[in-house]
Amino acid sequence: MTISIALLGAGRIGKVHAQAISRDPNAKLCAVTDAFPDAANAVAEQYGCPVRTIEEIISNDTIDAVVICTPTNTHADLIEAFARVGKKIFCEKPIDLDLKRVKSCLQVVKDTGAQLMLGFNRRFDPHFAGIKHEIDRGTLGSLEQATIISRDPGLPPYEYIDVSGGIFRDMMIHDFDMARFLLGEEFTSVQATASVLVDPKVADHNDYDTASVLLTTRGGQQCTITNSRRASYGYDQRIEVFGSLGMCAAENQRPVSIEVATSDGYLRPPLHDFFMTRYTDAYAAEIAAFVAAIADQTVPQPSGQDGLQALILAEAALKSLREGRAVDPAEIG
Amino acid sequence: MTISIALLGAGRIGKVHAQAISRDPNAKLCAVTDAFPDAANAVAEQYGCPVRTIEEIISNDTIDAVVICTPTNTHADLIEAFARVGKKIFCEKPIDLDLKRVKSCLQVVKDTGAQLMLGFNRRFDPHFAGIKHEIDRGTLGSLEQATIISRDPGLPPYEYIDVSGGIFRDMMIHDFDMARFLLGEEFTSVQATASVLVDPKVADHNDYDTASVLLTTRGGQQCTITNSRRASYGYDQRIEVFGSLGMCAAENQRPVSIEVATSDGYLRPPLHDFFMTRYTDAYAAEIAAFVAAIADQTVPQPSGQDGLQALILAEAALKSLREGRAVDPAEIG
Amino acid sequence: MTISIALLGAGRIGKVHAQAISRDPNAKLCAVTDAFPDAANAVAEQYGCPVRTIEEIISNDTIDAVVICTPTNTHADLIEAFARVGKKIFCEKPIDLDLKRVKSCLQVVKDTGAQLMLGFNRRFDPHFAGIKHEIDRGTLGSLEQATIISRDPGLPPYEYIDVSGGIFRDMMIHDFDMARFLLGEEFTSVQATASVLVDPKVADHNDYDTASVLLTTRGGQQCTITNSRRASYGYDQRIEVFGSLGMCAAENQRPVSIEVATSDGYLRPPLHDFFMTRYTDAYAAEIAAFVAAIADQTVPQPSGQDGLQALILAEAALKSLREGRAVDPAEIG
Amino acid sequence: MTISIALLGAGRIGKVHAQAISRDPNAKLCAVTDAFPDAANAVAEQYGCPVRTIEEIISNDTIDAVVICTPTNTHADLIEAFARVGKKIFCEKPIDLDLKRVKSCLQVVKDTGAQLMLGFNRRFDPHFAGIKHEIDRGTLGSLEQATIISRDPGLPPYEYIDVSGGIFRDMMIHDFDMARFLLGEEFTSVQATASVLVDPKVADHNDYDTASVLLTTRGGQQCTITNSRRASYGYDQRIEVFGSLGMCAAENQRPVSIEVATSDGYLRPPLHDFFMTRYTDAYAAEIAAFVAAIADQTVPQPSGQDGLQALILAEAALKSLREGRAVDPAEIG
């Protein structure tokens, strides 16, 4: 069985998914759409599929699924539209930056019985998935603490910051999802701190560039998350989970694994400098999981609900920051 | 110039310091005392020095300095007694578990102009000192975040827990000192979480065995500290500091640095399983620094004030935990 | 400009190259041939290209180049045939196991002015290429010593051993090429040792499974090569080069980069267990280099001459082994 | 029981052993001698023992053992003299640079039934000993290959080279011993190469500065040894042993284990720059083993015979180099 997939949005991340779809032996890119005709045409030409309007894709019964890579503010509407016609949906995170909108969208998903998978790509990174595998097979015993360090190579453009929802909703949301995914528990306490240390102009854009959060589950498990928008040495993406029997850590990744020893010491090259090269394998595995879930008629993970929970943690972190206290996510919304 | 040092307390840590003194070419162990005559005699015999009473040491003008390794509840009284007779004082941390008593003791130190060095041995670990060196020479740029993970190999005896002051005052106090030492700033916000995950009996002894803290300076620098009283893989002691130009991390230490590759994978041996073997070099360097400060007539570091500040952070963490809010250490005392 | 490439041989390595060609935006797989119709049809179907006979490919003017992945004993004939019709040729190593045949084939290549690239894929591994890059930019100063360790995960089938030409011509030939490539000099002395330690039946097939070689250049540069046909921990592929200013080493690669710490110690997963997953990136980069050389009208590297020199080193190693002396490759042929 | 030890030779290595003896609770430094009175007096003063002549030490019945650290050309005579009076003997390697003299000396040792331990300190390095431990417990299965890389931080003085016996007898002899110690077999084939690459003046002193050797046992086990007299990045001391079940490698050691990540990459400090700081623990463990063997009345290892065998391998390497062929050590002497 080959799954027919239409691509909605042919920008940077859309192209990544187009390539992943084209290389998946069980999937076929059958249509592409984008507000910018040039972008759509480029993908259409490269992968040999037609450009279609969203309406055409909605009404085309031969299309099994859509991959939504359009701007964030269109996600919820598109999810609802495709949920109503019974298409399988993969949507880049977030569903929306507004919690109410996310909830109403997920209500539609629920009412229509649609299958929605959310694009938390890091769950599919082979190294992070390796940690999960060790957790699941019991190597670490009962889990007690997690440490997540996530630093971008550099600050995004100010225009991006303006529409991003801020560091907690845009960047740390990946780490919130990972914390939930790995510990397998919901958090009942969120304590946050955040600063502008990288670039003072970030404050003018009502955001932070440096943030840390302390999460606690009802059972007392603890997780620290450390974020910075800039790391001189590349894309710093580390996770470790500690339990009664041991600890598992994922190492940082670099494009070239050599070490040069001179009188200065032993030098290894910097890390990846871009999320797309760092997470190439993760993006491919993510689409493969979406395709496999459709083929096997199982529920794709992570779900819309996972997206909602991560967003609630981001809101709780913001509330903790404003009120200088530990916030229970149950207070949110 | 050879510094004459009397050792007060010939227990486990006392013996470590006796050895360090005996190996320091600029120091001489000239007397030892202990409430248990056997303990004093053993050290006296091994290092060829007489057993003396505390009173004899106080009144002996040929003794330049004392190293205090007696039980915690005697520290403050001894510091005061030796401060009043003008001896240089090295005291194992903490000065006292009670903040008021620490303050009154430090007042005596101040009034007498005594020189007091406090035993935060980790500052003298060559690897952590290596981080400090990189910070001081500007390699990391302006400092932004620190991550400290400190896990003991195993739970101490319950009787120890009962008199320890609890995980924040006994264990994390080392990390509070290290955070202050490395970042070079005072913290204005402390957020804490703590649980009993290792051994439920710890709760019966009114303590926690698993704790994490989030510290923020006035300038927005952030530090996370993660503690556990038990790590299956040994004595986990990691520090990293991140700044505008880069990051510096100290690796864990193991007694044997080999790697065995089999069909199971690549295995390196566990870490040190005991603080004394892990910090052998640090203890030697600590005493050497004390001796050098006396010889050079400089002020030994870390000071009694450093001990006070670390204790205040521990108190702030406890208050944050109880009140579920960010606590400014300025609120304490 | 898109390069039209025909694939000769649709077996295991043929499929790897088919995929690499299909993913290269500057290349197009335009025909496939194989003695087994099923194999040819499978590739033809997956990549949407016709099955053609060798004769059809020879006579088709729209085909720019061929990639030869047929059995070794057909390589020389095919190279000559395609050289004579002016097609660009990529051929899997070796050209032939017989030195005379290699030489006569390369004479045809020379006479026809054909462009022949030989499949020493490891030159294109990003990590080994990283070493080369450091050498070329002078980081290591003048080169003095190289250490190459190459161990297969497991013994190949006996039938493969029978036609392989033996461990020196089949396996160590990659390391001979790498030694020449990295040091940039020809060797004037070859000293070899070889044993059957992995599986006594290897001796029945007139081969060795464990071999080491010591190479010296006229200028006194030294290279040790260590081979084994079996490593319990995976595909062990390490190279380091040492010079007057420093040393550069490429680390082994594993599919999952995690570390699990338990009471047993710190365990990282085994290495890749298959040359195709280990060298995925190398195979893609190799075909890209072939395509780029055609497009840019430059001479593709490594050349047929490189294949000849590596084979001569293998012959010299065998001669050294038989005669118990250092052999100058100039003695060969 | 405390072992009374006299130190013969109070130079650089003599001081290392004096310190090791003084720190060993089961040993006592009871006398020191040196051709230079100042050197003897300095050790005597530091460790509180008398200066004595060699004759006085020979005739003193209260002295159990001697540690010989005098110039190489006095070793054999001293060993014989102390063997004849029944003292236990620890002697720095080598016994002599002349094979005949070594043999006649060992004959005296044998005839007198003396106990002689030779100073191959690296056997006592905790990391190399860790490899041996893994071998002995069977982790690696049957042994097949060893790789030893040993590079000095820098060239010794020319005067040292003149009396050293050359790179094979002076430097690689440690690696020959280690190869025998780890593989537990004698070698039947030695193939060598050597060059002057570090400093052309080394040739004027009739020595090489860069050498590699290929050793094979009767059973076909292989060992490569790579030496250089200069490494920009410090004292490079690596050993790995490979067997049917796996591989064990000892990592290089550095004084400060930190890693600094900047835009240049991840930098760890250089290795130790001096054999004394690199092998501090090994020297202490070596003397402890000598003392323990005396106390326990067991035969100390490594023996004089071990010294002889290593020297024979060095001679075989030189012969291989001169004659351009594989040399069986049985040919030597």
Chains interfacing with A (3 or more CB pairs < 8 Å): B, C, D
Is the backbone peptide bond immediately before B37 cis, with ω within 30 degrees of 0?
no
CB B188 within 8 A of CB B328: yes
Using CB atoms, which residue from A145, A197, A246 is nearest to B212? A145
> Which residues 129-168 of chain C have a CB within 8 Å of chain A?
129-131, 134, 139-140
CB B4 within 8 A of CB B272: no
Q: With CB atoms and an 8 Å threshold, state whether B197 touches A151.
A: no
Of B70, B95, B114, the last residue of a domain is B114
Query: What is the extent of the structural domain holding C211?
Result: 123-281+310-331
Do A218 and A243 lie in a common domain?
Answer: yes
Angle at D329 between CA D235 and CA D178, to 5 degrees: 30
CB C212 within 8 A of CB C226: yes
Q: How far apart are CA C235 and CA B170, in angstroms?
A: 48
Assign B90 a pLDDT band (cuts: 50, 70, 90): very high
Do A186 and A267 lie in a common domain?
Answer: yes
Rounded to a whole number of angstroms, the distance from the CA of B233 to the nearest CA of chain D is: 18
Model pLDDT for residues D25-61, shown as the tens digit of each residue: 899 999 999 999 999 999 999 888 999 999 999 999 9
Contacts of C264 in chain B (CB under 8 A): 267, 270
Q: How far apart are CA B326 and CA B222, in angstroms?
A: 13
Report the pLDDT averaged over residues C207-236. 98
Of A62, A85, A114, the last residue of a domain is A114
Element (H, E) at A314: helix A304-323
Q: With CB atoms and an 8 Å threshold, state whether C221 touches D195.
A: yes
Do C132 and C105 lie in a common domain?
Answer: no
Chains interfacing with D (3 or more CB pairs < 8 Å): A, B, C
Q: With CB atoms and an 8 Å threshold, state whether D247 touches B263.
A: no
Do B142 and B104 lie in a common domain?
Answer: no
Residue B301 lies inside a defined structural domain of this protein: no
Report the pLDDT averaged over residues D290-298. 95
Q: How far apart are CA A194 and CA A168, in angstroms?
A: 9
Chains interfacing with C (3 or more CB pairs < 8 Å): A, B, D
Task: Say yes or no to pLDDT of C147 above 80.
Answer: yes
How is residue C160 annotated by DSSP?
H
Tell me what ipTM this predicted complex has: 0.96
Rounded to a whole number of angstroms, the distance from the CA of D250 to the nearest CA of chain B is: 4
Assign B261 a pLDDT band (cuts: 50, 70, 90): very high
Model pLDDT for residues D178-216, shown as the tens digit of each residue: 999 999 999 999 999 999 999 999 999 999 999 999 999
User: What CATH number does residue A63 fall under?
Assistant: 3.40.50.720
- CA-nearest residue to D268 within chain A is A266
Cβ pairs bridging B and D (under 8 Å):
79
Residue C77 lies inside a defined structural domain of this protein: yes
Own/partner long-range contacts of C154-163 (Cβ < 8 Å, ≥24 apart): C154/C229, C154/C230, C155/C198, C155/C199, C155/C202, C155/C209, C155/C229, C155/C230, C156/C229, C158/C201, C158/C205, C161/C202, C161/C205, C161/C207, C162/C205, C163/C71, C163/C72, C163/C73
Least confident of B174-183, C17-26, D59-68, D97-106: C17-26
Other beta carbons within 10 Å of D149: 24
Residue A136 lies inside a defined structural domain of this protein: yes
Q: Is B4 helix (H, G, I), strand (E, B) or coil?
A: strand
Tokens standing for residue A115: 């299958």
Would you give the distance in Å from CA B133 to the centre of its chain? 19
Rounded to a whole number of angstroms, the distance from the CA of A82 to the nearest CA of chain C is: 31
Do C85 and C227 lie in a common domain?
Answer: no
Q: With CB atoms and an 8 Å threshold, state whether A144 touches B210.
A: yes
Residue A235 lies inside a defined structural domain of this protein: yes
Q: So what's the pLDDT on residue D111?
A: 98
At a CB cut-off of 8 Å and minimum separation 6, what does A156 contact?
A: A164, A229
How is residue B78 annotated by DSSP?
H
Cβ pairs bridging A and B (under 8 Å):
123
Do D51 and D94 lie in a common domain?
Answer: yes
Q: How far apart are CA D182 and CA D217, in angstroms?
A: 13
User: What CATH number does residue C151 fall under?
Assistant: 3.30.360.10
Mean pLDDT of chain D: 96
More confident residue, C47 or D291: D291
Assign B142 a pLDDT band (cuts: 50, 70, 90): very high
Tokens standing for residue A244: 């009664």
Q: How far apart are CA D4 and CA D290, in angstroms?
A: 12
Q: So what's the pLDDT on residue A176?
A: 98
Q: So what's the pLDDT on residue A282?
A: 96
Do D318 and D229 lie in a common domain?
Answer: yes
A23-60 burial, b for 16+ CB within 10 Å, e for fewer?
ebeebbbbbbbbeeeebbebbbebbebebbebeebbee
> Which residues 285-304 of chain A have a CB within 8 Å of chain B?
none
Rounded to a whole number of angstroms, the distance from the CA of D22 to the nearest CA of chain A is: 35
Contacts of D269 in chain B (CB under 8 A): 130
Phi-psi region of A184 (alpha: psi -120 to 50; beta: other; left: phi over 0): left
Do B54 and B135 lie in a common domain?
Answer: no
Neighbour order of strands in the sheet with C88-92:
C27-33, C3-8, C65-68, C88-92, C116-119
Mean pLDDT of chain B: 96
- CA-nearest residue to B262 within chain C is C233
Q: Does A196 touch chain B (CB under 8 A)?
A: yes
Q: So what's the pLDDT on residue D1?
A: 73
Model pLDDT for residues B283-331, shown as the tens digit of each residue: 999 999 999 999 999 999 999 999 999 999 999 999 999 999 999 999 9
Q: How far apart are CA A177 and CA A122, in angstroms?
A: 9
Say which residue the tokens 């002691």 belong to: B237
Q: Could you say which residues of chain A have pLDDT below 70?
A: none
Say which residue the tokens 């955070």 belong to: B179
- Exposure on the CB side of residue D89, measured as CA atoms within 13 A: 35
Rounded to a whole number of angstroms, the distance from the CA of C234 to the nearest CA of chain B is: 7
Would you give the distance in Å from CA A171 to the centre of its chain? 9
Do A251 and A208 lie in a common domain?
Answer: yes
Q: With CB atoms and an 8 Å threshold, state whether A257 touches C251.
A: yes
Residue C300 lies inside a defined structural domain of this protein: no
Residue D303 lies inside a defined structural domain of this protein: no
Do D67 and D176 lie in a common domain?
Answer: no
Q: How far apart are CA C253 and CA C267, in angstroms?
A: 15
Do B24 and B169 lie in a common domain?
Answer: no
**Entry field: residues in chain C:** 333
Q: How far apart are CA A262 and CA C140, in angstroms?
A: 8
Alpha-helical (H) ranges within chain B are 12-23, 37-47, 54-59, 72-84, 99-112, 126-136, 158-164, 167-170, 172-183, 201-204, 275-278, 280-296, 304-323
- CA-nearest residue to C224 within chain D is D224
- CA-nearest residue to D46 within chain B is B25
pTM: 0.96
Cβ pairs bridging A and D (under 8 Å):
45
The count of structural domains within chain C is 2
Contacts of C25 in chain A (CB under 8 A): 46
Sign of CA dihedral B115, B120, B122, B128: negative
Task: Say yes or no to pLDDT of C259 above 90.
Answer: yes
**At B289, which amino acid appears?**
A
Using CB atoms, which residue from C129, C139, C260 is nearest to A262? C139
Q: So what's the pLDDT on residue B1?
A: 73
C154-169 burial, b for 16+ CB within 10 Å, e for fewer?
ebeeeeebeebbbbbb
Mean pLDDT of chain C: 96
Task: Say yes or no to pLDDT of D23 above 90.
Answer: no
CB B178 within 8 A of CB B149: no
Tokens standing for residue B52: 């003396």
Q: With CB atoms and an 8 Å threshold, state whether A265 touches D270.
A: yes
- CA-nearest residue to C243 within chain D is D231
Of D114, D143, D178, the last residue of a domain is D114
Residue C260 lies inside a defined structural domain of this protein: yes
Report the pLDDT averaged over residues B32-61. 95
Residue B289 lies inside a defined structural domain of this protein: no
Least confident of A21-25, C65-69, C283-287: A21-25
Do C104 and C138 lie in a common domain?
Answer: no
Model pLDDT for residues D218-228, shown as the tens digit of each residue: 999 999 999 99
Label each residue of C230-253 as H, E or C: CCCCCCEEEEEEEECCCEEEECCC
Q: Which of these, D54, D78, D124, lies nearest to D291 by C-alpha position?
A: D124
Tokens standing for residue D68: 């010989």
> Which residues 204-263 of chain D have a CB within 8 Å of chain B?
245-251, 253, 255-263
Report the pLDDT averaged over residues B242-271. 98
Sign of CA dihedral B121, B127, B129, B132: negative
Rounded to a whole number of angstroms, the distance from the CA of D253 to the nearest CA of chain A is: 12
Model pLDDT for residues B145-200, shown as the tens digit of each residue: 999 999 999 999 999 999 999 999 999 999 999 999 999 999 999 999 999 999 99
Q: With CB atoms and an 8 Å threshold, state whether A224 touches B233.
A: no
